[in-house]
Structure 1
Amino acid sequence: MRVLRRIAVLSLHTSPLAVPGGGDAGGMNVYVRAVSRELVAMGTEVDVFTRSTFEGQEPVEHPRPGVRVVHLPGASADTVPKEQLPLHLDRLSAGLRRFADADGGDRYDVIHSHYWLSGKVGLELQADWGVPLVHSMHTMAKVKNLHLLPGEPPEPDVRIFGEQDIAEGAARLVANTLTEATELRDLYGTPSERIDVVPPGVDLGVFHPAGRAPDRRALGIEDGTFHICFAGRIQALKGPQVLLAAAARLVDRYPDMRLQVTVIGEASGASPLDLEALVAELGLAGRVRLLPPVSAKELARHFRSADVVAVPSYSESFGLVALEAQACGTPVVATNVGGLPSAVSHGVTGLLVDGHSPDDWASALGELFEYPAFRARLGSSAAIHAAAFGWEQTAALTAHSYQHALDHFSPV
């Protein structure tokens, strides 16, 4: 077994230092940051390559000993939207190579790319450096195209072709769940023997159940209030519009309900949602708080203050928010899609809803409102369930995937 000395992590379209819930930042950012931290704890050095957040940004940051975040110039996030990034990959790749050459040349044991844009560059580096590429899709175009909303454009062919190249050329593919592994096999033809299933983790030192009552008081959640929380990018794919429509039906069904809905995140994507207008249209003024993205510590406080966390996504490779909420002892109502059934155990740690009918969502949320004892049991089980998903385990399984890649890789 070879000792893993240094890993090159590619997260080109979004920085692991960005706060989740805004722009292109989400669970993947948390994933890259946490696994890098744990790999360092195992004795491995990690360089994370990402595009600059703004032009003129400090080229290298050291968020912790053993981890360097290298900001590549030429396609900064404040000037180039993610949709246009395929046109700038050559520039980012050239900047990455210049940094590696100046830093000692070919010095990495494994390349680990995240999302298809990084995977395209990773394939080139695998060939040029003679080291294996391990790739995590996180989301896939063919899967997203199966769940398009009415009028929503399909994912572009350049992404589909890029993902196909990665599925065929990477030394190994890391899937979050068995469902994702099956999608890689059935939709992209990746042999099962080249896929490793590695569940994401949760920071149990931040997301924990202790402090529910003080957090409710501190956040102004009055006694007797049924508090529903949503956290994520504000785009149709994440489904906050479904939650708000369901909330309006809850108000109709339970006129005496003291309802509070907290939505945490900011607009993202080419067609962002106008939630303020939707709140007014649905007659929910005074019942909904729209908040910007917050730190992990603050997010945990919101989750603990909630009676339920809603994850009404149309597509999720796993659903890290669902796991973080459960770690806080809060039951989750989530769509029965993608990796969410792996994160949420129906009837044990939360409820899964088939589809996105506001009536069905209102029924699921209403069940937790009507039966507080059931809600409490779900919350207790949720905390126990999430406690098995520490980031240490994720990093150990990821390192095992790296070893598989090294054992079977033959440079061309």
Structure 2
Amino acid sequence: MKILVLSNMYPSPAHKTFGIFVKNQVEALKEAGHEVEVIGITNPLTGKKNVISKYLRWITETKMKLIFSGRKYDVIHAHYVFPTGLLALLFKKITGKPFVVTAHGGDIDRMAKKNPKIRQWTEKILQEASHVVAVGEALYQEINEDYQISKDKLSIINMGVNRDVFKAYPKKKIRRELQIPDGVEPVVFVGNIIREKGLSELVEAFKTVKEKRPQVELYLIGASRNQAYREELNQLMGTGVHFIEPLPQKELAKWMSAAEVFVLPSHIEGFGLVAVEAMSCHTPVIGTEVGGLRYLLRDGSGVLVPAQQSARLAEAIITVLENDDLKQQLIEKGEQKASENDEKKMIAKLERIYQQIS
């Protein structure tokens, strides 16, 4: 099958983690035997001049593809409802080709709420799509109920975890490789260094944890997209907090395996794939009761705490660190959850949708 993927986030050699989850899905589709082309924005830089420039270039490239070879594709797959879905809708109007749109969370939770016009476009794209994919259960319910998208054209399919990459390494051995000193209990976060990821609360919580367990160290791994916020975090930090620049996924798997506990304290989260990746590395996960995390971590797969409450977060981290039986339970339940969300299973679901609509 010939598939054109459109995305406003896609990695490049200079920005290897920008939209890496989209690239992972593209590579998995290729491995499954499909012919996949991508038109994506590979520049994560913000600022009015950067945003205008990169979006104009992306739109122009997409229009040229539409004019010269738009009819050769069997299906168009857009990641993020607005603005990417607009380009997929243009393909449909001109070529009649079906399109799938994947809602990742921010497009519904933030973008669609910016103003009535964007909300209107979001609704139009969802209605015109041949099929809508939501990456999490909460997102699925919101699209079904608030946008009146029927369940027969709506599916829950997250981006899936590559279990060949995200696998457990022996903790002692991998800590030595990563030069984590003996006796240290690593607490790890992976994601963009932005306020919405709950890092202010995590840093405050860590101070409390550190007072009770001096051997704990906090490792924040990700891109600092907002330098002003990074400086704010620097002011909040006490001792024992380490910033690490974005890493390749194989290296992330090592850090996740090395962690005593993985923490994802987001304010909003469409699904929380990074939490499943940590589970796949056999590390207990603590997350906030928001978006897809509410469903992902229920039933003992992780520990849930209220968002933006550093005291509750600190309490949860201490509880997990001090309870070996709880750790083992979380590891076992997490392994089951990781297996359920194996990338190969998600790709099979996506292939069935492509077949149905084409």
- Counterparts of 1:36 and 1:199 in 2: how far apart (Å)? 13
Match of 1:159 among 104, 112, 118: 118
- Counterparts of 1:246 and 1:133 in 2: how far apart (Å)? 44
Fraction of identical pairs, as percent: 26
Residue 362 (structure 1) aligns with: 314
Per-residue deviation, 1:298:
0.8
Per-residue deviation, 1:371:
1.2
- Counterparts of 1:48 and 1:361 in 2: how far apart (Å)? 40
3-state SS, counterpart of residue 266 of structure 2: coil
Residue 5 (structure 2) aligns with: 9
Residue 377 (structure 1) aligns with: 329
Contact residue 249 and residue 358 of structure 1 kept, 8 A: no
Per-residue deviation, 1:42:
2.6
Q: Name which of structure 1's ranges 217-226 and 330-339 shifts more when overlaid on structure 2.
A: 217-226
3-state SS, counterpart of residue 293 of structure 1: coil
Whether 1:273 aligns to 2:229 is yes
Give aligned pairs, total.
357
Residue 68 (structure 1) aligns with: none
Residue 71 (structure 2) aligns with: 106
TM-score, with normalisation over the residues of structure 2? 0.90
3-state SS, counterpart of residue 136 of structure 1: strand
Residue 147 (structure 2) aligns with: 188
- Partner AA of 1:40 in structure 2: K
Structure richer in helix, relative to its length = 2
Per-residue deviation, 1:389:
2.0
**1:273 to 1:156, Cα distance in 2 relative to 1, 3 A:** farther
Match of 1:215 among 156, 163, 174: 174
Whether 1:341 aligns to 2:294 is yes
Contact residue 103 and residue 135 of structure 2 kept, 8 A: no
Per-residue deviation, 1:183:
0.6
Residue 344 (structure 2) aligns with: 392
Per-residue deviation, 1:381:
3.1
Q: Deviations over 1:250-271 (max 9, x none)?
A: 234x1x53110000112225x8
3-state SS, counterpart of residue 43 of structure 1: coil
- Counterparts of 1:242 and 1:21 in 2: how far apart (Å)? 27
3-state SS, counterpart of residue 106 of structure 1: helix
- Counterparts of 1:209 and 1:195 in 2: how far apart (Å)? 34
- Partner AA of 2:127 in structure 1: E
- Counterparts of 2:163 and 2:144 in 1: how far apart (Å)? 32
Per-residue deviation, 1:177:
2.4
Contact residue 172 and residue 195 of structure 1 kept, 8 A: yes
TM-score, with normalisation over the residues of structure 1? 0.79
Per-residue deviation, 1:40:
1.9
Structure 1 unaligned regions, length at least 5 = 54-76, 147-153, 407-412
Residue 143 (structure 1) aligns with: 109
**1:142 to 1:99, Cα distance in 2 relative to 1, 3 A:** closer
- Counterparts of 2:70 and 2:16 in 1: how far apart (Å)? 36
**1:18 to 1:309, Cα distance in 2 relative to 1, 3 A:** farther
Per-residue deviation, 1:141:
4.9
Residue 100 (structure 2) aligns with: 134
CA RMSD of aligned residues (A): 2.6
Contact residue 21 and residue 231 of structure 1 kept, 8 A: no
Whether 1:49 aligns to 2:39 is yes
Q: Name which of structure 1's ranges 132-141 and 227-236 shifts more when overlaid on structure 2.
A: 132-141
Match of 2:203 among 236, 244, 252: 244
**1:89 to 1:288, Cα distance in 2 relative to 1, 3 A:** closer
Q: How does 1:180-329 map to 2 (within 5 A)?
A: 180-252=139-211, 254=212, 256-268=213-225, 273-274=229-230, 277-282=232-237, 284-285=238-239, 287-329=240-282
- Counterparts of 2:22 and 2:166 in 1: how far apart (Å)? 18
- Counterparts of 1:372 and 1:126 in 2: how far apart (Å)? 54
Q: Deviations over 1:29-75 (max 9, x none)?
A: 2332222222223321000111354xxxxxxxxxxxxxxxxxxxxxx
Per-residue deviation, 1:353:
0.7
Whether 1:31 aligns to 2:16 is no
**1:52 to 1:390, Cα distance in 2 relative to 1, 3 A:** closer
